[in-house]
Chains A and B, each alone.
Chain A
């Protein structure tokens, strides 16, 4: 991470430290809009900060630390799609979505959508799952099954129906969204859309990896403080080697997943969505979310009874980690990684 990003990270951490755990949706959203976090990946000629995927990941990591409820990732994806599009009024739309506090959201998992028509007269049918904070959104970012179309769909039309899906992870409010012949505006079509979908899903994997590692780090720190403060058998629990070694194992898993994410971001610079970058994104997301789950599972055990109490935040991390393992592209990441690897070998 370069110096500038480090500074940005320090200030982000300071802001988030006051935001509570979990960081509430409304206040955090307001704050991140005000601080210009949604401008990170917008190029300078469109009045953005012109930073790359690494900046987006850094912010996702900080939000992950605090179990942020705000829909930063789907918003960032919609903004990225708009930036990449050739839409005439994109500057105006971007202004609303970055500093105007308007939300365009997207699915954090899979979707099953078909599109017909072109330009600003698209018709979309199908279903999106795990759309974050859909009730607060004015727009939806949608891509079709065949990746031939990426579109923005106004949320306030009768043909768009969002149904809340309350789940175990209370730090992200997810919705199923049905499109019954909804009208939409194309951001990209054909080969351009295909490349854009690859780019968006790739970015989503990296950002989810960062969110997971932020949470894993925060939870391990919290747990070590607890073990250090709690005295049993006339010793701090943290002095028992059986527990220390487990903490060390979690630390090393986090360190490797972090190194892999950072190394990947460095190596893909400017190549988001390429085959190589997609492969790296899959590995980073897989290793990070598997690590997050492992850390959360272990930390619940290491916390003892208090870990089972809802007032203690350990369970919030556990539930977020369990959900995160299932978010992203559907199907098995491990199997996808193996397949990409075997394909590379045979070339």
Chain B
């Protein structure tokens, strides 16, 4: 059987399964719903999707749902997007960031200890950013001190998505101050129920509170939960961040593509379908969204065939973030004044709810988190286009 046929078969199979199983009317059900019901819906959907073997197509052979070829992974992402299935937001960090980091850098024991938990629905969060270490992540200060077979953690993380619900945390800490900032970092796996951990949710501009601050007061982590070597945390963190830029954007670009129909529906709903200016802008957005999909696909192909070059991932993320901004901006424009009167939100849909101001605000997730647009531009210009780096020395000459 040719691979073309086998992906065709898989497509049919996935499509049929989704038709049967995507919770009907989930968008309505998840609008202005409380946290508990949302969690329940996420848990149910995750259980179903992973039982069917479609939650972990990016996992390696030997793991449930894993061992899919690139073409097969793409088929699954495309079909999930096409079927307008809810996103597994609660499990996103677990399935991608945590799993990819463990697969790439974790020990066999760590993989065996944690990956089954992820399949069982454990929630993970990422504890990298700190109040004074955002774009300049390497300057982070949360301290991990080795005492016997334990690390003692003190400090603070912030903007950690889903931290208030998380079972575990991917924690980047400082174990050494003597060398260059990147050299003294260490990557740990933390049980969020450990004594000394406290979490304070941050209320967001969208009305949601999906990220939080995490405080550490003499929190103990066993050395068994050290990923890689002490002092080698920067390299491990890169594996975590790469998972976000590669695979997930293939799915998210496809979702944006299928969500283009929301723009058409919005035009129909308020009688602007024939407006020539809006139609032109729609044409522009369609071309850009298709460009984002093509770029993400091309990136994945390069990655799989080991032809990835420095900056490729940044191109994908920067273009996606900008296309998403353009898409949601046009939605706002179409919705007009009426769009401003419904401050509700829909859970599980992230930036594609059809509530345009909400989607527009959520589009900033992609231009700020995971390395902002400006940081991607630095990477592209310096490492891809080989333009000179910023001068290192710098003197403050003025006051405020």
Contact = CB atoms under 8 A, between A and B. Distances in A.
A295 to B, nearest CB: 13
A201 interface: no
Given A249-B377, A256-B294, A337-B283, 13 more contacts: A238-B387, A238-B388, A241-B378, A244-B382, A248-B318, A248-B378, A251-B381, A252-B315, A255-B319, A256-B291, A259-B291, A260-B295, A337-B287
A9 interface: no
A264 to B, nearest CB: 8
A339 interface: yes
Contact of A341 (B286, B298, B376, B389): B286
B377 A244 contact: yes
A345 interface: yes
23 contacts: A224-B385, A228-B388, A239-B388, A241-B390, A244-B385, A245-B381, A248-B378, A248-B384, A251-B381, A251-B385, A255-B315, A255-B319, A256-B292, A259-B291, A262-B294, A262-B298, A263-B297, A287-B288, A290-B284, A333-B283, A334-B284, A337-B283, A341-B283
Contacts of A228: 387-388
Contacts of B260: 341
A277 to B, nearest CB: 14
Given A256-B292, A263-B297, A334 B378 contact: no
B318 A224 contact: no
B286 A337 contact: yes
Nearest to B320: A256
B399 interface: no
Given A245-B381, A335-B283, A341-B282, A239 B264 contact: no
A283 interface: yes
Given A255-B315, A334-B284, A235 B391 contact: yes
A338 interface: yes
Interface in A67-99: none
B280 A338 contact: yes
Interface of A: 224, 227-228, 235-236, 238-239, 241, 244-245, 247-249, 251-253, 255-257, 259-260, 262-264, 283, 286-287, 290, 332-339, 341-342, 345
Contacts of A338: 279-280, 282-283, 286
A3 to B, nearest CB: 13
A267 to B, nearest CB: 10
B374 interface: yes
* A248, A287, A336, A345: most-surrounded residue (chain B CB, <10 A): A248
Contact of B381 (A247, A286, A336): A247
Contacts, number: 124
Nearest to A241: B390
Nearest to A333: B283
Contact of B287 (A245, A260, A262): A260
* B283, B297, B298, B374: most-surrounded residue (chain A CB, <10 A): B283
B210 interface: no
A245 B290 contact: no
Interface string B337-361: 0000000000000000000000000
Given A256-B291, A334-B284, A247 B318 contact: no
Interface of B: 260-261, 264, 273, 276, 279-284, 286-288, 290-295, 297-298, 315, 318-319, 322, 374, 376-378, 380-382, 384-385, 387-391
A230 to B, nearest CB: 12
8 residue pairs, one from A and one from B, having the closest CB atoms: A334-B283, A337-B283, A244-B381, A256-B291, A248-B377, A259-B294, A263-B294, A248-B380
A321 B273 CA distance: 31
Contacts of B381: 244-245, 247-248, 251
Contacts of A251: 315, 380-381, 384-385
Contact of A335 (B276, B290, B322, B378): B276
* B261, B377, B387: most-surrounded residue (chain A CB, <10 A): B387
Contacts of B376: 248
A76 to B, nearest CB: 24
B319 A227 contact: no
Contacts of B319: 252-253, 255-256
A334 B281 contact: yes
A244 B280 contact: no
B387 A260 contact: no
A253 B377 CA distance: 12
B264 A345 contact: yes
Given A241-B390, A341-B264, A252 B380 contact: yes
A287 B132 CA distance: 40
A45 B315 CA distance: 43
Given A262-B294, A332-B280, A335-B280, A287 B385 contact: no
A154 B124 CA distance: 73
A79 B288 CA distance: 32
Nearest to B323: A256
A239 B391 contact: yes
A325 to B, nearest CB: 13
B141 to A, nearest CB: 26
Nearest to B261: A345
A345 B261 CA distance: 7
B377 A245 contact: yes
Nearest to A286: B287
Contacts of A235: 388, 391
B280 A245 contact: no
Contact of A283 (B280, B290, B389): B290
Contacts of A227: 387
Nearest to B322: A252
A263 B257 CA distance: 15
A119 B322 CA distance: 53
Given A224-B385, A239-B391, A339-B279, A283 B286 contact: yes
Contacts of A249: 377
B374 A257 contact: no
A259 B380 CA distance: 17
A68 to B, nearest CB: 25
Given A260-B290, A341-B260, A239 B298 contact: no
A93 to B, nearest CB: 37
A260 B284 CA distance: 13
B286 A256 contact: no
